[in-house]
């Protein structure tokens, strides 16, 4: 069950999840109450133990670990590493994320996406991210799932780029 904006707390979401006979709630990290500084892993583990449910995590949609600004990319990357640590503490098996389209320039006849224009730099950053996540995940059972990519028009699609560089943690 996705996090419902109408639900004001994780406990209410878990109660609805139970009522509906579902197994898990996808914790949406876009919401202020689910920012890492706002949620306590020990409290979450207790709630989950009482309900028999589990959580998956959906990273904030604006995360862009491939940003060409090192400082910006590092902030996003640090966020992902902290989420992996949190997911490990609460035994969350899945972290969902989007791959950002990045910035584009609008020309009279088309949009030029910088990630497509500077593809090798982009792929290098993506490989670094993949490898660092693999190390951070270690022996846990966490899987990082990529969704909602492929928004580019023309040229190689991000999903094709991902398949060239991403090896899921085994």
pLDDT at 153: 47
- SS3 track for 56-120: EEECCCCCCCCCCCHHHHHHHHHHHHHHHHHHHHCCCCEEEEECCCCCEEECCCCEEEHHHHCHH
pLDDT band per the 50, 70, 90 thresholds, residue 169: very low
CB atoms within 10 A of CB 106: 8
Does the pLDDT of residue 138 top 80, yes or no? yes
Domain residue limits, the chain: 10-101+124-151
The CATH number for 10-101+124-151, chosen from 3.20.20.150, 3.40.50.720, 3.30.70.1230, 3.30.200.20, is 3.20.20.150
Tens of pLDDT, residue by residue over 89-110, are 999 999 999 888 889 999 999 9
pLDDT band per the 50, 70, 90 thresholds, residue 163: low
């Amino acid at each position: 069950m996705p996090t419902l904006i109408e639900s004001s707390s994780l406990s209410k979401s878990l109660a609805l999840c139970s009522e509906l006979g579902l197994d898990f709630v996808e914790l949406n990290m876009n919401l202020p109450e689910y920012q890492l500084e706002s949620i306590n892993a020990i409290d979450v583990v207790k709630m989950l133990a009482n309900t028999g449910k589990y959580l998956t995590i959906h990273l904030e949609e604006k995360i862009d670990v491939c940003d060409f600004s090192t400082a910006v990319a590092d902030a996003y990357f640090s966020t992902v590493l902290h989420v992996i640590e949190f997911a490990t503490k609460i035994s969350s098996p899945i972290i969902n994320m989007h791959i950002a389209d990045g910035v584009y320039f609008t020309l009279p006849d088309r949009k030029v996406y910088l990630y497509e224009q500077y593809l090798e730099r982009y792929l290098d950053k993506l490989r670094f991210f993949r490898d660092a996540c693999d190390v951070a995940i270690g022996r846990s059972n966490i899987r990082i799932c990529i969704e909602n990519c492929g928004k580019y028009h023309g040229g190689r699609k991000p999903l094709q780029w991902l398949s060239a560089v991403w090896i899921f943690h085994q």
